[in-house]
Amino acid sequence: MELRQLRYFIAVAEDEQFSKAAARLGVAQSTISEQVRLLEKHLDAELFLRSSRSVRLTSAGEALLAGARTTIAELSRLEDVVRKHSMGQSGELRVGAVGPALHRAVPLILRRLIRASPDLAVSIHTLSTEVQVRKLVAGELDVGFVRGLVRRRGLRVETLMEEALWAVLPSDHRLAQADTLSLSDLNGEPFVFWPRGRNPSFYDQLISTCHQHDCVPSQMIEGSDMQTQMAFIGAGLGVSVQPESFRDRSRDDVVFVPLSGAVRKVALQLAWSPTFETPAVRTLLHNARLGRAELRRRAS
């Protein structure tokens, strides 16, 4: 039994004429007649009672019709599922992100992605850059929003946007009311940062930038995540220098002050493994590239 035969059979049953079914399907009437006869031979059952003007289903034909419609409908659904998977419009996408990326970049890009591919199941995992790197290389994540990542073997990295650095201070700090600050204004202050192991390249970049602008922290206080660091700063334990997306406008115990001078910007990037690059990954990359101009405009 062939699917083509079932399609022809359904068309004849619905139109009650071989000629009308042939015209609707755009095939020769002789082709439909032959395939229906082959189907009847295969099933060893007469499916139609034929007259010179029309045909009607036999009881065997009635029994076949419901099942044939179900089979064709399920096949069409399956074809649609496979097509969407192959086009990156369906399936699963595991996304990693550093915490600050969840404030702006991730929502903007995922909004575009979900609008274009509503059947794509996206999960988001807030992870440090180093953890994302390990999981991307192992195929445990599909794509990651990372920060300040230098070239890594087995990964491709693409910059989404570059952000200015801001000073983060306790709200009662002596410099909290300043409109702008230079990095040298923070010289000798205790600094709150992530542990270096969570992203060595980004950590080193920030410390190097501070040193280049005559800012040497008196002490390094480690906070394992954004919330912990903000709590430390709000409690007056230290200050920090972070990308603009680190800003949390809901807090009144910390303030964010832009830095003046030629302070280098830091990159927010997309990382993925070409070994595990799926159609869904390519769909996210496409939408991220479309959203890149808007991200950069907002960061400028």
For residues 249 and 270, what is the distance between their CA atoms, to the nearest angstrom? 25
Cα–Cα distance, 293 to 31 (Å, whole number): 55
Do 148 and 266 meet the contact criterion of CB atoms below 8 Å apart? yes
Amino acid 247: pLDDT: 84
| CATH code, 90-161+267-299 | 3.40.190.10
Supply φ then ψ for residue 152, to 5 degrees: -125, 140
pLDDT tens digits, one per residue of 192-224 = 998 998 888 889 989 999 999 999 999 999 998
Please say whether the beta carbons of 15 and 21 come within 8 A.
yes
Sorted by sequence, the CB contacts under 8 Å of residue 205 that are 6+ apart come out as 148, 264, 266
Residue 299's pLDDT is what? 62
Per-residue confidence (pLDDT) for residue 89, from 0 to 100: 73
Judge whether 90-161+267-299 and 165-264 match in fold.
yes
Q: What are the pLDDT digits (tens) for 46-85?
A: 999 988 788 999 999 999 998 999 888 888 887 777 777 7
Name beta bridge partners: 94. 123
Q: Which of the two residues, 126 and 52, has the higher pLDDT score?
A: 126
229: number of Cβ within 10 Å: 24
Distances (CA, A) of 73 to 3, 66, 80, 194, 283: 11, 11, 11, 55, 28
Question: What residue segments make up the domains of the chain, in order of their start?
Answer: 3-86, 90-161+267-299, 165-264
Please report the pLDDT score of residue 250 as a whole number. 82
Rounded Cα distance between 123 and 150, Å, is: 25
Per-residue pLDDT tens over the stretch 242-290: 988 888 778 899 999 999 988 988 889 999 999 999 999 999 999 999 8
Considering the four listed CATH numbers 1.10.10.10, 3.40.50.300, 3.40.720.10, 3.40.605.10, the one that applies to the domain covering 3-86 is 1.10.10.10
Cβ atoms 120, 94 nearer than 8 A = no
Highest CATH level, class, for 165-264: alpha beta
Chain centre distance of CA 246: 21
For residues 178 and 35, what is the distance between their CA atoms, to the nearest angstrom? Answer: 84
- The alpha-helical segments, DSSP class H, found in the chain are 3-15, 18-25, 29-43, 59-86, 105-116, 129-138, 200-212, 226-234, 279-299
